Structure 1
Amino acid sequence: MHYALISKILGLLLVVFSFALMPPVLVSYWFQEGSETPFLISFVITLLVGLALWLPFFRHKAELQPRDGFLVVTLFWSVLGIIGGLPFLLSPDLDVGITDAVFESISGFTTTGASVLSGLDYLPKSLLFWRALTNWLGGMGVIVLALAVLPMLGIGGMQLYKAEIPGPSKDTKLTPRIAETAKALWYLYVALTVICAGAYHLAGMSWFDAICHSFSTLSTGGFSTHSASLGYFHSGTINIIASVFILLGATNFALFFVAWKDRSPKALWLDPELRFFLGLQLAYVIIVFSSLLAHDVFATRWEDFHHTLLQVASLSTGTGFVSTSISNWPTFVPFMLILSSFIGGCAGSTAGGIKVVRAALVFHHGHRELRRLIFPSGLFVLRFGRRKVDDQVLQAVWGFVGVYISIAVLSVIAVCATGVDFVTSFSAVAATINNLGAGLAGVSDSFGQLPEVAKWILCLNMLLGRLEIFTMLVLFTPMFWRQ
């Protein structure tokens, strides 16, 4: 283990990240709020900590190994949760402790969107901007993590694409090629964010709301500037715009990279994961829309349609925006959408969950086993799109799904043990491990009423879900620390 290299990288990342605390200062000055002090103090603390970790080893040179990578990724995301919570902890406009501050920060950076805060409409705009910015930075961090770091470590969901998609694979090292890919992804991410913000503004949002919501939309994070979320605007057009950009954020960004490089959308249409994902979305929309019509939930079909589209896209991808209270919807609909978040979005996207590519392989594998029961002597090759999927990949997928579900079940039991009722515990765990944010029962409005122990369990869930489970779990194995 190269601890000097790890300290150097972690320190450099913190130094770079410290400057992300400055935009909220500018927002405070622009709106003349006088709320910049917590951000300036947080900036100084983050910069000094980063320099303290980087300076002693800035001349150290070594090659980053997979074990080092696991530790760097886990430490950075964990430290981000603490550092990012400083503005909440130091703000005189909030009365939160360390637990709530860290929870809000981790929720932002993991693009979960679960919040312990209330009365968002009355908070300083600098804090609201910071919440949205944590979503946006976390979303881009997730894309780079999924497309560059995790495949290099051999545990990401992108191995199936290594033969057909330019960019890093699990066998590549940190080279200029990865840097070039990450740079192109940043351009795409920023461009989509700008377009989204412009669309929101044209639909009636102020520029501040439009920018903040575009940050939370592309990142599928779900933090809003209003307690009523998108329901504050009472606009079907805004709901449709949000749905479109949520689905873009939940699409594999490697496909956007290929489409941009080839100047053709062919890669999007030919991708089997995207087709499976859109098929799921269509099925969800048909079921929910039909249910709303059957129960006369809204006065017009237009309302049925845009609320259906927004809630399906938002909840199934782990975004967490809401456009209306779903408490008066048919009972099975909220539970179905919460369960759909376990599948989530595509690999290499900002969405949470198990990822569509794994769910699709589980489905196809189950179908193959049924065929084998009917024709025991038959030879059936499992293909995903045009690619043959070998049994080693299937074993890895089943192993991931099994561990994911097991952690979710154990987490529900652990949260229940803190005195929380089952429905609240289940929805809280689903909301955090799937990076969804929206919950039912006791967490339908806020996570602030949960016991502190439960909040720390949910913080761990957010990190586990965001880092693809094994990235963190491997640190708890004795063999990882053996030289």
Structure 2
Amino acid sequence: MARFPDLSAIAPDLGRIFLFMGLVSYLPLLIGIIYGEYGALLPMASAPAAFTVLGLLLVRIHRLEREPPLSIALGSVALIWLVASFVGALPFTLGIGMPYTDAVFEAMSGWTSTGLSLILDVDAVPRTILFWRSLTQWMGGIGIVAFSVALASRSSLTSFRLYRSEGRSETLMPGVVATAAQMWRIYLILTVIGVGLVLLSGISLWDAVNISMTAIATGGFSVHTQGIMYYQNPLLEMLIVPIMIAGALPFKLYYLVYLRKQTGLFEDAQARLLFLLIAFGVFLVTYDLIFLTQVVPLQALREGLFMVTSAITCTGFNNTNPFAWSSVTVLFLSALMLIGGSSGSTAGGIKLSRVNLGIETLGWWFRRLYTGSRVLTPFRHNGKGVGLTIAEYEVSKNMLVIALFILTIFVGSILLLHLDPSSAFDSSDVIFDVVSAISNVGLSTGFVNPEMSMTGKWVFIIIMWAGRLEIIPLIALAMGLSRKVSQKRG
């Protein structure tokens, strides 16, 4: 019971988050009314009703006047995403008869903007439920807590800790509420611009809205079973490319350009690295497709540009079957997925900021190696000097997250191979899908399918959840629960 006061201090904030989520979750009901899908309204209403009831129960808990420690904030954020997936699964189970485990998988894939799916025939699903899938990715892309904080009326240390615990590090304005609100304005504007761009390809407004929502969220869900390949529209593919890139750039960059404090995209280190990796990736993949897979040059360039952008931005759209490519090309694609997009964006992966910091750290270590122990070698990050203590702390934290990502991929792959040893898929297929899940990408070899064992599906649910929150909050939640269990036994 020692942790109860901390939980009491944070419960009303969690309640408000669920109330805000419930409010927005009513939007798919409008789609059901517009398209006359009245049979889907009641199943769809289960999600906003559950969020609302849960929120009302939590806000009624008496708040103790103390701020919870960071460990409670971290664990609470992990719990928010898990509960969101449990509640978000209800429309899939009640509306289209998915087994509940499959529905939780679908909802977790949506909230984490992953895009892996267990729905075999997407075209047969009511538009009400399809819009719910797109909406979960759109809300989850920028962050559940960031979304809810943007609608709040006050800043507090609790709000700040929840916001930072979700992996948000942007500081656009003095208050966390003002920062979150500004991010959501940028997000809305980018989504509307995306809809306008996609409409230029000649597809319907329904398709354009859903594609834009999932592209800017770097999510990858589609309203058709074949995904983007359904359209066979090269112009559409080229118009989606800048939307995916926009979602993978740091949102702080748009704010600085708007205020004229930064004149161009290439002044940002993450943006420079993103464009550099895209350019190099397109060259390498196009080369491989022409000379290793014998694809005609123009088609190779089309596939290379779209697939490389989809992989590095962690969107998961595809305009071809990448598993017909050479294995070395697919391996390169998986490396791009693991790197991911920018910090402060909707993209997943390890993040470009950590790659940049890793490169700077390597240079720093080698300079220290050759200058001798008596010479103080300064650490420079983004062109600025950083104190030795801060540098060592940031480097350690950076390497910890990278190590946890690699360890999760290793453990997850071993577990899945043991759970389904008779599978027709080999270890490289399993590893690719695990990388895709933890990086919240959504590309799959086919290993992820409804015929997987229930345990295998839960392994993927946990991997997607861990990847979106960068693992640390899950560890905090697990440690908090284990302490409670040990206290009860004691």
Match of 2:356 in 1: 360
Match of 1:106 among 108, 117, 127: 108
Match of 1:405 in 2: 406
How far off is 1:190 after superposition?
A: 0.3
The 5 A counterparts of 1:254-273 are 254-260=252-258, 262-263=259-260, 265-266=262-263, 268-273=265-270
Match of 1:38 in 2: 43
Q: Any conservation in 2 of the 1:67–1:480 contact (CA below 8 Å)?
A: no
The 5 A counterparts of 1:208-357 are 208-260=206-258, 262-263=259-260, 265-266=262-263, 268-295=265-292, 297-299=294-296, 301=298, 303-357=299-353
Q: Where has structure 1 moved over 6 Å in runs of 4 or more?
A: 145-148
Distance 2:145 2:287 in 1: 35
Distance 2:282 2:378 in 1: 32
Cα separation, partners in 2 of 1:359 and 1:441, compared to 1, 3 Å:
same
**For residues 438-457 of structure 1, what are the alpha-carbon distances to aligned partners after superposition, in whole Å with 9 as ceiling and x for unaligned?**
122523xxx32221101111
Residue 121 (structure 1) aligned with residue 123 (structure 2): yes
Distance 2:31 2:165 in 1: 41
Q: What secondary structure does 1:327 align onto?
A: helix
Match of 1:422 in 2: 427
Q: Any conservation in 2 of the 1:239–1:307 contact (CA below 8 Å)?
A: no
How far off is 1:240 after superposition?
A: 1.5
Aligned CA-pair RMSD: 2.7
How far off is 1:38 after superposition?
A: 0.4
Match of 2:79 in 1: 75
Q: Which amino acid aligns with 1:126?
A: T
TM-score for both structures, normalised by structure 1: 0.88
Q: Any conservation in 2 of the 1:15–1:50 contact (CA below 8 Å)?
A: yes
Distance 1:13 1:339 in 2: 35
Cα separation, partners in 2 of 1:49 and 1:120, compared to 1, 3 Å:
same
Tell me which moved more, 11-20 or 196-205: 11-20
Tell me which moved more, 330-339 or 80-89: 330-339
Distance 2:197 2:163 in 1: 37
**For residues 206-252 of structure 1, what are the alpha-carbon distances to aligned partners after superposition, in whole Å with 9 as ceiling and x for unaligned?**
10110011110011011011111111111222111211111111111
**For residues 261-296 of structure 1, what are the alpha-carbon distances to aligned partners after superposition, in whole Å with 9 as ceiling and x for unaligned?**
x23543633222221222122111110112222246
Match of 1:182 in 2: 180
TM-score for both structures, normalised by structure 2: 0.87
Q: What residue ranges of structure 1 are gaps of 5+ in the alignment? A: 169-176
Match of 1:171 in 2: none
Q: Any conservation in 1 of the 2:7–2:68 contact (CA below 8 Å)?
A: no
- Identical pairs, percent: 28
Size of the aligned set, in residue pairs, is 462
Tell me which moved more, 98-107 or 285-294: 285-294
Q: What secondary structure does 2:322 align onto?
A: coil
Q: Any conservation in 1 of the 2:89–2:104 contact (CA below 8 Å)?
A: yes
Match of 2:385 in 1: 388
Match of 1:435 among 436, 440, 454: 440
Q: Any conservation in 2 of the 1:143–1:253 contact (CA below 8 Å)?
A: no
Match of 2:20 among 16, 19, 42: 16
Cα separation, partners in 2 of 1:215 and 1:178, compared to 1, 3 Å:
same
Match of 1:132 among 102, 120, 134: 134
Cα separation, partners in 2 of 1:182 and 1:154, compared to 1, 3 Å:
closer
Cα separation, partners in 2 of 1:219 and 1:322, compared to 1, 3 Å:
same
Cα separation, partners in 2 of 1:469 and 1:337, compared to 1, 3 Å:
same
How far off is 1:376 after superposition?
A: 4.8
Q: What secondary structure does 2:115 align onto?
A: coil
Q: Which amino acid aligns with 1:391?
A: E
Cα separation, partners in 2 of 1:397 and 1:151, compared to 1, 3 Å:
farther
Q: Which amino acid aligns with 2:280?
A: A
How far off is 1:62 after superposition?
A: 4.0
Q: Which amino acid aligns with 1:341?
A: M
How far off is 1:331 after superposition?
A: 2.2
Distance 1:382 1:142 in 2: 35
